[in-house]
């Protein structure tokens, strides 16, 4: 009889953000990022309770100390923890009433100062960063209405191009649904490896979209005014050329919207498999830098549109604004490459 090998489950403290939202919410981006923050906060409280050996209100009370210590988990000795739980000691407060990482006795004397719990410091620090980031980007416009943009593009460009974009959006939806299913079943080692492959697919999709935009922009040539004899004719045809340039540029908003959605999904995916720190500190920053180069190219192409056509120039600004939204939204999530271990 074959030996039955138990499935090894990966003990991630944060519940997957995929579990509580739909694909429609994910495409709006903000609900998915809010789910990421909520999962991070719940995981942080679980860590605190586990470290203290107390899953009740005491653990929640200690959670408030985190904000006063740089967003990291702190711990007291076992004896002091018991005295705190019994009410013989209490947490010190500052003038505004915020809890501090110090224990005091009835006379107000400091009995013990908490130490950083190094093992959990990064996890709780990331959680605090996510919560702060979601608050920071709350004012950022929700994700692009991709179906509407695809419909608009379909009226201008050939069916094969539109079909390819629909296929790419379908790949995003498939990744979302598979991640949600695996999260529901529980994160095993094999599930974690499969989700890592999904992350690789998202990297590849965004690289393809970014390079498609660059290739399309590179095809836009600088209109020639010609000599004096032909100048009048060129002025008559310049607006139609500028309109075509604007249309080619605005078509890239579909790819920009797809990149926006996939970045939010990648954050949720990285959180689920426990690689969020490296994604936020390294990969996300690299991608934002690459998108900055695209933004610079868009400004260059805008300059090719004649100054006599400000309405067309403003249309390009709308496309640039779509990229700026991505930068504003995700820059708030970038972590420093090395989080400090000591916070008190």
Between 238 and 285, name the one with better pLDDT.
Answer: 285
- Do residue 76 and residue 196 come from a single domain? no
- Do residue 147 and residue 246 come from a single domain? yes
344 located within any domain = no
15 located within any domain = no
DSSP 3-state of 96 = coil
Q: Are 302 and 317 in contact (CB under 8 A)?
A: yes
- Token pair for 304: 């090719």
Taking residues 261-275, report their average pLDDT.
92
Listed residue (74, 67, 23) closest to 41, CA to CA: 67
Between 243 and 202, name the one with better pLDDT.
Answer: 202
- Token pair for 123: 């996890």
Give the span between the Cα atoms of 297 and 303, in whole angstroms: 10
- Do residue 152 and residue 54 come from a single domain? no
Listed residue (146, 121, 157, 155) closest to 262, CA to CA: 146
Listed residue (274, 273, 291, 300) closest to 330, CA to CA: 291
Answer whether residue 206 shows pLDDT above 50: yes
132 located within any domain = no
What is the full DSSP assignment across 83-141?
Answer: HHHHTSSEEEE-TT--EEEEEE-TTS-EEEE-EE-HHHHHHHHHHHHHHHHHHHGGGSP
- Do residue 165 and residue 62 come from a single domain? no
174 located within any domain = yes
Between 135 and 193, name the one with better pLDDT.
Answer: 193
- Do residue 155 and residue 292 come from a single domain? yes
* Residue-range definition of the domain harbouring residue 213: 143-331
Of 125-129, 134-138, 151-155, 320-324, which one has max mean pLDDT? Answer: 320-324
- Do residue 202 and residue 295 come from a single domain? yes
- Do residue 159 and residue 290 come from a single domain? yes
Domain ends where: 120, 152, 171? 120
Between 263 and 237, name the one with better pLDDT.
Answer: 263
- The pLDDT score that the predictor gives to residue 200 is 96
Between 218 and 3, name the one with better pLDDT.
Answer: 218
Q: Please, is 128 exposed, middle or buried when counting C-beta atoms within 10 Å of its C-beta (0-12, 13-18, 19+)?
A: buried
239 located within any domain = yes
4 located within any domain = no
- Do residue 157 and residue 243 come from a single domain? yes
pLDDT tens digits for range 167-201: 888 999 999 999 999 998 888 889 999 999 999 99
pLDDT band at 318 (very low <50, low <70, confident <90, very high): confident
19 located within any domain = no
pLDDT tens digits for range 291-306: 999 998 888 888 878 7
- Do residue 114 and residue 207 come from a single domain? no
pLDDT tens digits for range 219-255: 887 766 554 555 555 556 777 788 888 788 888 888 8
Domain ends where: 66, 86, 120? 120
Give the span between the Cα atoms of 131 and 230, in whole angstroms: 61
Between 234 and 286, name the one with better pLDDT.
Answer: 286
Between 156 and 35, name the one with better pLDDT.
Answer: 35
- Do residue 200 and residue 313 come from a single domain? yes
Listed residue (181, 149, 163, 343) closest to 261, CA to CA: 149
End-to-end, the C-alpha distance of the chain in Å comes to 57
Answer whether residue 163 shows pLDDT above 60: yes
Q: How many domains does the chain have?
A: 2
44 located within any domain = yes
- Do residue 197 and residue 278 come from a single domain? yes
Q: Are 322 and 97 in contact (CB under 8 A)?
A: no
pLDDT tens digits for range 79-121: 777 777 677 778 777 777 766 667 788 888 888 876 655 444 4
- The pLDDT score that the predictor gives to residue 69 is 43
Q: Map tokens 């400091």 to a residue.
A: 110
Answer whether residue 217 shows pLDDT above 70: yes
- The pLDDT score that the predictor gives to residue 277 is 83
- The pLDDT score that the predictor gives to residue 182 is 93
- The pLDDT score that the predictor gives to residue 219 is 83
- Do residue 163 and residue 246 come from a single domain? yes
Answer whether residue 259 shows pLDDT above 90: yes
- Token pair for 61: 């009370």
Give the span between the Cα atoms of 83 and 100, in whole angstroms: 17
Q: Which residues does 271 contact at the CB level (< 8 Å), separation at least 6?
A: 14, 16, 17, 36, 39, 40
- The pLDDT score that the predictor gives to residue 167 is 87
Listed residue (230, 334, 342, 252) closest to 298, CA to CA: 252
pLDDT band at 151 (very low <50, low <70, confident <90, very high): low
Answer whether residue 7 shows pLDDT above 70: no
């Amino acid at each position: 009889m074959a030996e039955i090998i138990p499935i090894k489950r990966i003990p991630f403290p944060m519940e997957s953000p995929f579990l509580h939202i739909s694909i429609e919410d994910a495409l709006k981006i903000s609900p998915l990022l809010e789910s990421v923050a909520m999962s991070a906060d719940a995981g942080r409280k679980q860590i605190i309770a586990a470290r203290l050996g107390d899953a009740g209100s005491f653990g929640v009370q200690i959670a408030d100390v985190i904000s006063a210590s740089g967003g990291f988990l702190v711990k007291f000795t076992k004896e002091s923890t018991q005295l705190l739980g019994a009410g013989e000691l209490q947490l010190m407060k500052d003038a505004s009433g915020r809890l501090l990482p110090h224990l005091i006795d009835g006379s107000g004397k400091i009995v013990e100062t908490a130490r950083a719990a190094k093992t959990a410091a990064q996890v709780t620090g990331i959680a605090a960063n996510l919560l702060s980031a979601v608050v920071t980007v709350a004012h950022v416009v929700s994700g692009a209405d991709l179906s509407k943009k695809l419909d608009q593009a379909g009226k201008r460009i050939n069916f094969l191009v539109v079909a390819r974009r629909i296929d790419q959006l379908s790949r995003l939806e498939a990744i979302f649904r598979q991640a949600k299913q695996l999260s529901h079943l529980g994160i095993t080692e094999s599930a974690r490896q499969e989700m890592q492959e999904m992350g690789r697919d998202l990297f590849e999709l965004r690289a393809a979209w970014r390079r498609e935009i660059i290739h399309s922009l590179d095809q836009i040539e600088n209109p020639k005014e010609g000599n004096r004899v032909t100048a009048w004719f060129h002025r008559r045809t310049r607006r139609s050329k500028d309109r075509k340039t604007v249309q080619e540029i605005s078509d890239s908003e579909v790819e920009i919207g797809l990149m926006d959605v996939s970045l939010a999904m990648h954050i949720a995916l990285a959180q689920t498999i426990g690689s969020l720190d490296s994604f936020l500190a390294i990969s996300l920053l690299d991608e934002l830098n690459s998108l900055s180069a695209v933004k610079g190219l868009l400004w260059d192409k805008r300059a090719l549109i004649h100054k006599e056509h400000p309405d067309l120039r403003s249309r390009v600004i709308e496309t640039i604004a779509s990229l700026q939204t991505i930068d504003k939204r995700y820059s708030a999530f970038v972590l420093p490459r090395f989080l400090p271990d000591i916070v008190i």
